[in-house]
Structure 1
Amino acid sequence: MKNFQNKTKLSGYIGTLKGNGSTIGFVPTMGALHQGHLSLVNNGLRENDVVVVSIFVNPTQFNNEEDLVNYPRTLEADIALLKTVDEDRIIIYAPSNGDIYGGDVQSQAFTFDGLEHEMEGAFRKGHFDGVGTIVKRLFEIVKPNRAYFGEKDFQQLQIIRKLVELHHLPVEIIGCPIHRAEDGLAMSSRNARLSIEHRAASPFIYKTLIAAKTKFGTKSAQNVTEWVNSQFKKQGLLELEYFIIADIATLKPVKRKSTKKSYRAFIAVYAGDIRLIDNIALN
């Protein structure tokens, strides 16, 4: 398994592969890999000759310094896990901050037709500037044919699609279903930091989303939102930050349902000091 830390060497190697007719899939990650990441890698391997997996904890997309410091970094375990999938067709890119940013670790300013102001953008100022900056740079380094992103970060997925559209980037963006634990909790690198009590309580998030989907069939968005808020007030271990039902195209909260539009419910919850997000398609 080839492992690069230098973007110039990686780009040169990928250029040789593409010159020989190979297609390149790409899975950008911040490490602490789990089965959700592996599902993205496997999708990439089915559709491409080679898959590049980047492992880089990107400082510009953290609005909370403590979250950045505490984010798990498990490179050796990540490499070992990827070897169980395929040793020959996976390339690892694990750069330093300097290799990505040089001496200037800061975000470029982006606009994404307003998608960046909703939900996560409203609660995490500057987050999507950081996401846009790192994803655009990685696309320029890796030059993949296809890139794979999980629908757990659905707003991020839509923003990356908009990034590709607005900047005319030659990569196909593939959204992949949310990978869940047996009890329904969406897979996340942050799950490993949950206390025993909070891990036991956290499946309540997905159970509530399932119930909200059922209610949305006959109730208004406002009614469903009020119901979700009332459920979390009864849940002592989990603190609801937001629950929003939004149009998937604009990500704006729905005021009145339309049969011509598709909707998704988005949720952010604190389990102690660990922030968990999830979402579900409603129609």
Structure 2
Amino acid sequence: MPGCSSHPATSRRPDDANHTIKSLTQCLRGYRAAGLRVGLVPTMGFLHGGHRALINGSVARCDITVASIFVNSTQFGPNEVLDCYPRALEQDHELCRTAGVSLIFVPDASEIYPPGFQTTVEPGPVAEPLCGAERPGHFRGVATVVTKLFNIVQPDLAFFGQKDFKQCAVIRQMVRDLNLPIEIVTVPTVRKPDGLALSSRNSYLSPVDRQRARCLSQGLLAAQAAYGEGERDSERLIAMARAHMSEVDQLQYLQLVDARALEPVPGLVDRPTALCVAAYVGTTRLIDNVLLDIASNSRADLVLAQHRAAS
């Protein structure tokens, strides 16, 4: 059986990927019968250190880790080219193996969206702010494919990256609303030494644009550090971040929002919030965010120190 072992409790190295729902569920049936805890790391491939952090989180908390690799066509907008999304399946498999993934799920599009597919999951108002306004239908595609993966894998925990802050909020709301028995774990953003958030889209950046893209994290981290030092005025925090971002070609949004409801936070910051940005550097759209709360202060100091050392 591809990707399975007769000794699931000790299986840590996938011999092959599962390409069908049937083969994956056959493997998982044995694992569940053995009482093992299953974690899911959903990805679109072209894996990097951020994905490795998600896998590490699952391996630490679960007996079995399933990593899915599926470029989901339904979350691409009319001006986004599906065929241009970066792919490196062989490298993806190697990262999964070395990180301790138990099962790799690499379905074809027809496996996830068979002929005659009609039903989608429509997220509510939580999908509208931030990227929702810029990418109509995107979060419908995300909610639909994640729901399908949840139904296929039936994980105990699922791991997502904080960099996709809005996506995490949509999925958490969906899990609550649909009474899905899954714990959603958000893993902190992984950054390069100069502060740039790891992203598959970074591969689109030219060398010059790669250097310019640093201004996004520089602005966010400066505002986070100021919050840690006592600044609470939302307009000043946003202005402080914006001052670093003059090198972007188009700033789609830079907003300070409630960390749960995603509503703008005017005046004084008196609750956990997120400072979120989306911008084009060259032709590449990048997103990033930082959390502004007491727990984020030490992380801000550490990342800012790393950035200054690399500058």
2:83 aligned partner: 69
2:73 aligned partner: 59
Q: 1:132, 1:163 within 8 Å by CA — same for their partners in 2?
A: yes
RMSD: 1.8
Match of 2:43 among 21, 29, 34: 29
Sort the Cα spacing of 1:75 and 1:169 in 2 relative to 1 into closer, same or farther, 3 A.
Answer: same
Question: Is 1:208 the counterpart of 2:219 in the alignment?
Answer: yes
Sort the Cα spacing of 1:106 and 1:63 in 2 relative to 1 into closer, same or farther, 3 A.
Answer: farther
The aligned amino acid for 1:270 is Y
Report how far residue 9 of structure 1 moved. 1.7
1:11 aligned partner: 25
Moved more, 209-218 or 178-187: 209-218
Deviations 1:204-247 (A, max 9, x none): 11111112224454363234334544543x42x54311100001
Match of 1:277 among 273, 283, 287: 287
Question: Is 1:221 the counterpart of 2:234 in the alignment?
Answer: yes
Distance 2:75 2:122 in 1: 13
Matches within 5 A, 1:110-259: 110-112=122-124, 114-216=125-227, 217-218=230-231, 220-232=233-245, 234-235=246-247, 237-259=248-270
1:100 aligned partner: 112
Aligned to 1:3, the other structure's residue is in SS state coil
Distance 1:139 1:9 in 2: 16
Sort the Cα spacing of 1:104 and 1:65 in 2 relative to 1 into closer, same or farther, 3 A.
Answer: farther
Aligned to 2:36, the other structure's residue is in SS state coil
Sort the Cα spacing of 1:56 and 1:65 in 2 relative to 1 into closer, same or farther, 3 A.
Answer: farther
Q: Percent identity?
A: 36
The aligned amino acid for 1:140 is N
Report how far residue 50 of structure 1 moved. 1.0
Distance 1:187 1:149 in 2: 14
Deviations 1:82-123 (A, max 9, x none): 22223xx521000011000102466714133x2111101111
Sort the Cα spacing of 1:105 and 1:222 in 2 relative to 1 into closer, same or farther, 3 A.
Answer: farther
Sort the Cα spacing of 1:68 and 1:105 in 2 relative to 1 into closer, same or farther, 3 A.
Answer: farther
TM-score by length of 1: 0.92
Distance 2:66 2:79 in 1: 28
Distance 2:129 2:122 in 1: 14
Sort the Cα spacing of 1:154 and 1:106 in 2 relative to 1 into closer, same or farther, 3 A.
Answer: farther
Question: Is 1:268 the counterpart of 2:282 in the alignment?
Answer: no
Deviations 1:161-188 (A, max 9, x none): 1111111111111111101111111110
Unaligned runs of at least 5 residues, structure 2: 1-13, 294-311
